[in-house]
Amino acid sequence: MDLFLDGIRTTVSLTLYGWLGAFAIGLVIASFRVSPVPPLRWAGATYVELVRNCPLTVLFFLFWFGLPNAGVQFPRFPSAVIVLALYTGAFVAEAIRSGINTVATGQAEAARSLGLTFGQVLGQVVLPQALRSVVAPLGNVFIALIKNSSIAYTISIVELTGQAQTLAIRSAAAIPVFTGAAIAYLILTLPSGFAIGWLERRVAIKR
Amino acid sequence: MKRNRSWWLVTLLTLLALVAAGCGDDDDGDVATEDTTEETTEDTTDDAEEDDAEGDDMASGDGAALIEESETLSAIVEAGSITIGTKFDQPLFGQVDPTAGGEPVGFDVEIAKLIVDKLSEASGEDISIEFVETPSAIRETAITDGTVEMVAATYTINDARKELIAFAGPYYVAGQDIMVAADDDSITGVEDLAGKTVCSVQGSTSIENLREMAPEAELVEYDVYSKCADDLANGRVDAVSTDNVILVGLIDAEGDSFKLVDNPFTEEPYGIGVPLEDQAMRDFVNDALEEIFESGEWAEAYEATVGTVAESTPEPPEVDRY
């Protein structure tokens, strides 16, 4: 049971740190993708297509075992957070970009004509509206992140799934143990779902 | 665009690393149960004394009598050839060169050849050897159905197997050991693992042993040993611990960057498998093993194979005539 709680704690911190990183990356990449500078747009698109289309397990492997060959090495836990953030960031970027596309172009044009810079247009006019409209898709991405954190076990971060595996081997009772793990994931994801629903209603723009 | 390029670089390098690390992990499930080990040591003492009483001059005269008595051995001598099962994929014990092919080489193979030499000597016939591959799962079957007359294949003596076949030996006692970076002198045994990061495989007996015998160590677990080796090479773990047989294989594959601590903390006796009912053949093989222990041929075989990676040559074990 202690092991289980330990695992849950690790899963939660992976998720929270990962989300902070992913959100930051997502904002930057989404801005790149709608920016007026073509190389930035290409960079944003390349990033999204490369990362989003690569299985997370493979990214973990490349980051942990591959990067040291190029002379770059991070400690274990930060590595897992970085990979989760990089991967989830691509999905966050796409969700935010779809939100940006819902904001009528007339608004950006109006803001431009008032003399606002691109950064100001994006940060003060477009993004606040865009983010409100994509709470639900971002919520999906967040819940996926909770579950994706289990892949950190492949680089020996013993989170919830990892602890379940150890317990299953030790007790030779895999089914009860993994049922317990499934319930633990539900305990994490269901309240997240409710919180997202509440937030969505809270920030929705009533038109 | 720049990001794009660096990803390709990483991918390419990783592929290279994969190819380089790919061939080394044969996770042989040979795990001795503890009760077997204890039993082995108890029995050995009595029998060793008996042997002394019989006399040291175990000459070919006795051997010839045993050959006559043994159904299997007489058939081998008559045919002038013996079929021996060994591993084809266990570095330093029994391995066929994965690229060049050919005959298997290693410690098991050398021991088998030495035993057959004794058989040739005792019978006066020149006996040729054919090696066939016997992976862990089929070793008992290969002996009981007569596909092979003898098995030398990192074959741990245990009670369950004694029901099906008979063991001569042990001729080697394997055990869980520790592998560290070549320049690391801070770890000389399991007790030094406290506070260190140690890698092994998920769900293995090795990792459970570590939890018990090195509770202060921080454990890292992967699905295969090659990942442990990668982490050790990158300095992300201080040590890798599992059966020394697997470790010497990893060291053999990796070259100079790793070394074996060579201080095993569990015991797994390897024996020669022979047909269950053939007591005379078992006696003959046991006699042959004792002879090669005495003559130094055993040590020579060890030094030429496992000894190229492990630093010290151990004393040969005592044969267990259970």
The partner residue sitting opposite A70, judged by closest CB among B9, B202, B236, is B9
Per-residue pLDDT tens digits for B141-196: 999 999 999 999 989 898 888 999 999 989 999 899 999 999 999 999 999 999 99
Whole-angstrom CA distances from A77 to A21, A65, A92, A151, A155 are 14, 14, 22, 12, 9
pLDDT at B18: 57
Task: Please report, to the nearest 10 degrees, the dihedral formed by the alpha carbons of residues B44, B46, B48, B50 taken in order.
Answer: -150
Of B269, B304, B305, the C-alpha closest to B174 is B269
Of B177, B193, B169, the C-alpha closest to B249 is B177
Q: With 70 as the cut, is the pLDDT of residue B49 above it?
A: no
More confident: B49 or A11: A11
State the Cα–Cα distance between residues B118 and A16, nearest whole angstrom. Answer: 69
State the Cα–Cα distance between residues B87 and A48, nearest whole angstrom. Answer: 48
**What's the rounded mean pLDDT across residues B210-215?**
92
pLDDT at B57: 43
3-class DSSP state for residue B18? Answer: helix
pLDDT at A174: 83
Would you call A78 an interface residue with chain B, using a CB distance cutoff of 8 Å? no
C-beta of residue B306 within 8 angstroms of C-beta of residue B93: yes
Question: Among residues 138-177 of chain A, which lie with CB inside 8 Å of chain B?
Answer: 154, 156, 158, 165-166, 169-170
**How many H helices and E strands in chain B?**
12, 13
pLDDT at A115: 92
pTM for the structure as a whole: 0.68
The partner residue sitting opposite B14, judged by closest CB among A42, A65, A165, is A65
Between β-strands B197-201 and B218-222, what pairing exists: parallel, antiparallel or unpaired? Answer: parallel
State the Cα–Cα distance between residues B103 and B101, nearest whole angstrom. Answer: 7
More confident: A162 or B312: A162
Would you call A69 an interface residue with chain B, using a CB distance cutoff of 8 Å? yes
The partner residue sitting opposite B13, judged by closest CB among A46, A70, A76, is A70
State the Cα–Cα distance between residues B39 and A75, nearest whole angstrom. Answer: 46
**What's the rounded mean pLDDT across residues B262-288?**
93
Residues of chain B with C-beta less than 8 angstroms from the C-beta of A39? 1
DSSP class of residue B193 equals: G
ipTM for the predicted complex: 0.79
State the Cα–Cα distance between residues B263 and B312, nearest whole angstrom. Answer: 10
Cβ–Cβ contacts within 10 Å for residue B212, how many?
A: 8
DSSP letters along B216-256, please?
A: TSEEEEESSHHHHHHHHHTTSSSEEEEEHHHHHHHHHHH-S
pLDDT at B5: 59
Residues of chain A with C-beta less than 8 angstroms from the C-beta of B222? 154, 156
Of A1, A42, A20, the C-alpha closest to A142 is A20
> What distance in Å separates residue B4's CA from the closest CA in chain A?
7
For B227, nearest residue in chain A (alpha carbons): A65
Of B248, B286, B287, the C-alpha closest to B264 is B248
Residue to test with chain B: of A28, A42, A156, most B Cβ within 10 A: A156
Task: Please report, to the nearest 10 degrees, the dihedral formed by the alpha carbons of residues B95, B243, B275, B135 taken in order.
Answer: -40
Percent of chain B with pLDDT over 70: 81
Q: Do B10 and A70 touch (CB under 8 A)?
A: yes
The partner residue sitting opposite B202, judged by closest CB among A50, A69, A165, is A165
Q: With 80 as the cut, is the pLDDT of residue B48 above it?
A: no
Q: With 50 as the cut, is the pLDDT of residue B315 above it?
A: yes
pLDDT at B202: 83
Alpha helices (H) along chain A: 2-34, 38-52, 56-61, 76-102, 105-113, 118-120, 127-133, 135-148, 160-171, 174-203
Tens digit of pLDDT per residue, chain A (207 long)?
Answer: 788 899 999 999 999 999 999 999 999 999 999 998 999 999 999 999 999 999 999 999 999 999 988 888 899 999 999 999 999 999 999 999 999 999 988 999 999 999 999 999 999 999 999 999 999 999 999 999 999 999 999 999 999 998 998 888 777 788 899 999 999 999 999 999 999 999 999 988 766
